[in-house]
Chains A and B, each alone.
Chain A
Amino acid sequence: MSIAAELTGGFSGARVFALVRRYVYLLRASWPRLLELIYWPAVQMVTWGFLQTYVMQTSNVVAFGAGVFIGGMLLWDLLFRSQLGFSMSFLEEMWARNMGNLLMSPLRPLEFVAALMVMSLVRLALGLGPVALLAIPFFGFNVFSIGLPLAIFIANLVLFGWAVALVVSGLVLRNGIGAEGLAWTVMFIVLPLGCIYYPVTMLPGWLQPISWALPPTAVFEGLRAILTTGDIRPGLMLWAFGLNIIYVSVSIVIFLLLLERSRVAGSLVQMGE
């Protein structure tokens, strides 16, 4: 089928719900999976919280007191986990050798993608929600005090996480489970380039345009502006949102192209390494 036909075909919320139910069953059946969701964000929060407390006591730089570190950490983890939550649900199908069952059922690729997006949100809520709440009593940082801009930050980060996850999932479909390492590592390129803990101006001049081409850069610049000066910079959010529309659209097309290439290459029959 053509990519256009895949994009314009029917869409069933019932099938999306059926697949989401499958992932919820899986989470419910495995306490280690649930623990894993919250473990690493909690460790990160404690580490950066103590670091911030220490730096606050030894420096008078206002950014430290405003929660730039711990806020950056929470939103970085949200970005990483939005991608990982999508990719992990996808990889579960590869590990379970269930992909053939799904691809030969009436489930359409875009319904599959929608279910993975829903699960990404579920996993985010389960993993980061409690950690964000714990940061309030432990380190006096209330990320929710940012208000509406926080929702816009989250939306932009999640959209970018999904865009990356779509490409990674397509590559795993095309190249087999041997490519799964990408799911764990590819997002880390955003750690230096997305300027999570420092302003874009810290980067060399030639690297700054590349950094601005990444939606997270605008989000973290916006976060720093709010936390240090209280300024809300809607232009940054519009820039990030515009980029995300492009990235998500392109990544969906790439995913569908890689799925079609997998059908041509016969790699869906042999789902091993």
Chain B
Amino acid sequence: MTAAMSEPSSHAVRPAIAVVGLVKSYGANVAVGGVSFTCARGEVLGLLGGNGAGKTTTIAMIMGLVTPTSGSVHVLGADMARDRYTVLGRINFESPYVDMPHRLTVRQNLTVFAGLYGVDNVKERIAQLASDLDLHDVLDRPSGKLSAGQKTRVALAKALINEPELLLLDEPTASLDPDTADWIRTHLEDYRKRRNAAILLASHNMAEVERLCDRVIIMKKGRIADEGVPTDLVARYGRANLEEVFLDVARGTEVPA
């Protein structure tokens, strides 16, 4: 893949993400108020929280799109405040807040992003992604004329174009029908196993989180309200599933003793 994708072995034990004391304030409004966590290599970490909990801002700070008020973000060992360009070629993301240029065909869009990420053998890579994500029929269609499910698969293809070691996904299956969403989740599971990739997944779909995530962080009002392995959280809260745990946290229900 890219030259930047190989890294010194001394970095191998460093976590994919290490966030320490992350704060983002807009005047008196605190969007993220002192968040610390790590995401290990190969781990799928869920980032949960209601609307306005600070998930998207946290992801944006991890990607370097928003500058933290204080705190630090290290991705694959690099300080994102100083050295983000040393690792941006090894990570990628999918978010509902961005789009692919509508007039370009899927193939053209993927070609452009392959160039930006320094991917070798672009045609082979696009052919592989088309095969993996069932995109053959849409490769030469304008990206703006695809269905929601097709757009999501194309966005995922863009996110995987450089075979990232760290994938940040913000609501990857939102607005998809159950079949397509399941298909996407299966592909993410396969990719994670194949590449030992770390995935940070922000989602409101608790079934999706329980299925994909090794560990979850639940945010509330810009802070971490709770965290743990999904099954442990469910047991600790004495609930039937993660959705009930989420509701307990969101509504401030006391954890049963």
CB of A102 closer than 8 Å to a CB of B: yes
- Asked if B103 and A98 sit within 8 Å, CB to CB, the answer is no
In the complex formed, the residue of B with least CB distance to A29 is B103
**Complex CA–CA separation, A29 to B145 (angstroms):** 14
- Asked if A101 and B98 sit within 8 Å, CB to CB, the answer is yes
Contacts A/B (CB < 8 Å), 23 sampled: A1-B81, A5-B82, A9-B85, A21-B111, A29-B103, A96-B99, A96-B102, A97-B99, A98-B100, A100-B65, A100-B95, A100-B97, A101-B98, A101-B113, A103-B65, A104-B93, A105-B116, A106-B116, A265-B26, A266-B24, A269-B57, A269-B65, A269-B66
In the complex formed, the residue of B with least CB distance to A103 is B65
A257 to chain B, nearest CB (A): 13
- Asked if A107 and B116 sit within 8 Å, CB to CB, the answer is yes
**Complex CA–CA separation, A30 to B158 (angstroms):** 23
Interface centre among A18, A99, A265 (most CB of B within 10 A): A18
| Chain A residues whose C-beta falls within 8 Å of the C-beta of B113 in the assembled complex | 18, 101, 105
Q: List residues of A (230-250) whose CB comes within 8 Å of B's CBs.
A: none
**Complex CA–CA separation, A268 to B24 (angstroms):** 14
| Candidates B82, B97, B105, B108; contact of A1 at CB < 8 Å | B82
| Chain B residues whose C-beta falls within 8 Å of the C-beta of A189 in the assembled complex | none
| Chain A residues whose C-beta falls within 8 Å of the C-beta of B101 in the assembled complex | 22, 26, 92, 96, 98
CB of B17 closer than 8 Å to a CB of A: no
Contacts from A to B (Cβ < 8 Å): 1, 5, 9-10, 12, 14-15, 17-19, 21-22, 25-26, 29-30, 92, 96-108, 260, 263-266, 268-271
- Asked if A14 and B115 sit within 8 Å, CB to CB, the answer is yes
- Asked if A102 and B88 sit within 8 Å, CB to CB, the answer is no
| Candidates A5, A15, A30, A100; contact of B98 at CB < 8 Å | A100
In the complex formed, the residue of A with least CB distance to B89 is A106
**Complex CA–CA separation, A100 to B60 (angstroms):** 10
CB of B41 closer than 8 Å to a CB of A: no
| Candidates A30, A98, A104, A271; contact of B63 at CB < 8 Å | A104
In the complex formed, the residue of B with least CB distance to A111 is B116
- Asked if A269 and B56 sit within 8 Å, CB to CB, the answer is yes
Count residues on chain B whose CB falls below 8 Å from chain A CBs. 40
- Asked if B85 and A263 sit within 8 Å, CB to CB, the answer is no
Interface centre among A29, A30, A101, A265 (most CB of B within 10 A): A101
| Chain B residues whose C-beta falls within 8 Å of the C-beta of A264 in the assembled complex | 66-67
Q: A30-B103, A101-B158 are in contact. List 20 more A-B contacts (CB 8 A).
A: A1-B82, A1-B84, A14-B118, A15-B116, A18-B111, A18-B115, A25-B103, A25-B108, A25-B112, A96-B100, A98-B100, A103-B65, A104-B64, A105-B117, A107-B116, A108-B85, A265-B26, A266-B60, A268-B66, A271-B97
**Complex CA–CA separation, A12 to B88 (angstroms):** 14
| Chain A residues whose C-beta falls within 8 Å of the C-beta of B234 in the assembled complex | none
In the complex formed, the residue of A with least CB distance to B93 is A104
A273 to chain B, nearest CB (A): 15
The 6 closest A-B pairs by CB, nearest first: A18-B115, A100-B98, A97-B99, A263-B67, A22-B112, A96-B101
**Complex CA–CA separation, A18 to B108 (angstroms):** 10
A7 to chain B, nearest CB (A): 13
